[in-house]
């Protein structure tokens, strides 16, 4: 069987993409990061030849020998990189959130539809063992019919306020809350109605609300809620509870 040739762009959280690719027996064909220290660290750690280290992602776009590219750069860059890679015929795994605006999301979907490549967004909760188990339990009917589900994303961004994560377009609900929202969509379905309140107390230097609560009505007599806090004074959590009849 041909070994798949994988390239990785963005080498902080993206290091886990390299480890995933290696664990599936793929060859790391190239790596890219505009920060040369991060590039060198990853290159040396995974013994990737230095002629495969790039600071410009277009070198990866233009390399026809690469099968799959994983994208783990700041969210603001997801759309441009994903579209360029898809148009060059690469299969793409892009980190969540897919993009920051509906228009950018539509552009990525269009580029994926027009290509013959596979595209995937890294909504990692669908592959997390505890949530996979929850899905199995729900689908088997063991807890009866689901009538309420709640999930949350609580992660203190205090140390991240001076980074791309504080961009007002990158609201906490989009950036991290997308995990909790995606989880409820996967476990319960798409909501039909939503309302929400936002609070702003913990991260005054960030323009967006740092805590939100959204209440959702699903079809078939079900409800749910998603709480997001990006300033919470506690450990990271994605506490999720599913209630069945």
Ligand X SMILES: NC(=O)c1ccc[n+]([C@@H]2O[C@H](COP(=O)([O-])OP(=O)(O)OC[C@H]3O[C@@H](n4cnc5c(N)ncnc54)[C@H](O)[C@@H]3O)[C@@H](O)[C@H]2O)c1
Q: Cβ(81)–Cβ(9) under 8 Å? A: yes
- The residues pairing with 154 across neighbouring beta strands, listed in sequence order, are 229, 237
H/E segment holding residue 81: helix 78-87
- The residues pairing with 119 across neighbouring beta strands, listed in sequence order, are 92
Which CB, 160 or 202, lies closer to ligand X?
A: 160
Which CB, 127 or 197, lies closer to ligand X?
A: 127
Which CB, 61 or 214, lies closer to ligand X?
A: 61
Min separation Cβ 3 and ligand X, Å: 25
Distances (CA, A) of 168 to 5, 28, 63, 76, 178: 37, 35, 35, 11, 16
Which CB, 177 or 191, lies closer to ligand X?
A: 177
Min separation Cβ 199 and ligand X, Å: 22
Which CB, 11 or 21, lies closer to ligand X?
A: 11
Min separation Cβ 163 and ligand X, Å: 6
H/E segment holding residue 63: none
What DSSP state is assigned to residue 109? H
Contact residues for ligand X (CB under 6 A)? 9-14, 32-35, 38, 57, 72-75, 77, 95-96, 122, 124
Min separation Cβ 96 and ligand X, Å: 5
CA-CA-CA-CA dihedral for 14, 123, 93, 15, to nearest 10: 10
Which CB, 165 or 225, lies closer to ligand X?
A: 165
Is residue 142 helix, strand or coil? coil
Q: Cβ(57)–Cβ(32) under 8 Å? A: yes
Tally: H helices and E strands in the chain: 8, 11
Min separation Cβ 228 and ligand X, Å: 14
- The residues pairing with 228 across neighbouring beta strands, listed in sequence order, are 153, 212
Min separation Cβ 81 and ligand X, Å: 8
């Amino acid at each position: 069987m041909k070994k798949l040739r994988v390239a990785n762009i963005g080498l902080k959280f993206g290091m886990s993409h390299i480890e995933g690719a290696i664990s599936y027996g793929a060859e790391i064909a190239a790596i890219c990061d505009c920060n040369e220290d991060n590039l060198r660290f990853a290159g040396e750690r995974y013994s990737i030849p230095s002629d495969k280290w790039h600071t410009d992602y277009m070198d990866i776009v233009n390399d026809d020998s690469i099968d799959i590219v994983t994208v783990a750069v700041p969210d603001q860059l997801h759309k441009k990189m994903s579209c360029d890679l898809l148009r060059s015929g690469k299969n793409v795994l892009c980190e969540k959130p897919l993009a920051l605006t509906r228009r950018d999301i539509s552009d990525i979907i269009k580029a994926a539809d027009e290509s013959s490549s596979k595209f995937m967004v890294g909504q990692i909760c669908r592959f997390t063992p505890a949530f996979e188990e929850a899905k199995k339990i729900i689908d088997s009917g063991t807890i009866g019919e689901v009538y309420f589900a709640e999930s949350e994303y609580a992660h203190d961004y205090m140390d991240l306020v001076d980074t791309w994560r504080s961009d007002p377009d990158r609201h906490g609900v989009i950036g991290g809350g997308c995990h909790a929202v995606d989880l409820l969509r996967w476990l319960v379905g798409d909501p039909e109605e939503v309302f929400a309140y936002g609070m702003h107390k913990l991260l005054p230097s960030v323009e967006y609300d740092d805590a939100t609560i959204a209440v959702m009505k699903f079809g078939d007599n079900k409800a749910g809620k998603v709480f997001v806090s990006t300033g919470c004074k506690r450990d990271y959590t994605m506490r999720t509870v599913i209630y069945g009849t």
